Amino acid sequence: MQGIGSKEQGTGRSLRLLAAAVLVCGALQAQQIDMGAKKPAGRDHVELLSDAVDVAAGKTQDVELRFRVDPGFHINSHTPMDEFLIPTKLTLDGAGVKVVSEEYPAGVKFKLPIGEGTILDVYQGEFRVMLRVVAPKGATTLSGMLRYQACDNAACFPPRTLGVKVTVNGR
């Protein structure tokens, strides 16, 4: 009886070990999948986060367009402090959704760490452009372009334009 009990205990331990190993394997595999799913930073350095918004049809509504600048980079705000710097500007098509007004966020002060440096007015991380729109009933595409110019602490990339397409659902 003792022999059988000890054999059963041994088998039980083995099964528990097997179960633990399977769980650990599963965890490792899950971590790996998570790594693979990370989106690499784009060369454009700015991305549009908004893709669809719901508004009341036929009424003037506030809509936020959310953008994100890659970590380590900045773009000039809509009102840079130097006349030669290129401001961030959104140009929207008039078709479909009527855009009544655009409001850009205030930039943050950023000192370029070169020599004595210079103070810039920039957007970093996430920033939001507020629009007042009147949308018809149903789904309409709000489209346009965001013009900006990105730099990091020591170098700048040429001015770029980012296509903007957001579905506005008028309900």
Partner 1 sequence: MVRRIAVLAAVFVVIGGLFWAGWYNHHQRQLAMQRVQDRITTLTKNSPEEANSGAPDGMGDTLKGKVAPGFTLVDLNGKKVSLAQFKGHPVVVNFWATWCGPCKLEMPWFEEMNQKYKDKGLVILGLSQDTGTDVAEIAKSAKKIGVTYEILQPDDNIAKLYGGVDYLPETFYVDGKGMIAVTSAGAPTKDEIEANVKKIL
Whose CA is closest to 86, among 77, 94, 74, 96? 77
Q: Minimum Å distance from CB 138 to partner 1? A: 40
Residue number, 41 or 52, with CB nearest to partner 1? 41
Residues making contact with partner 1 (CB under 8 A): 7, 10-11, 14-15, 17-18, 21-22, 24-25, 28-29, 31-32, 35-36, 40-41, 43, 72-73, 82, 84-86, 112-115, 117-118, 120, 149, 151-159
The distance between the two most distant Cα atoms of the chain, rounded to a whole number of Å, is: 92
Residue number, 5 or 40, with CB nearest to partner 1? 40
Say which residues have a Cβ less than 8 Å from residue 44's Cβ, sequence separation at least 6: 150, 160, 162
Distance CA 49, CA 64 (A): 10
Residue number, 61 or 76, with CB nearest to partner 1? 76
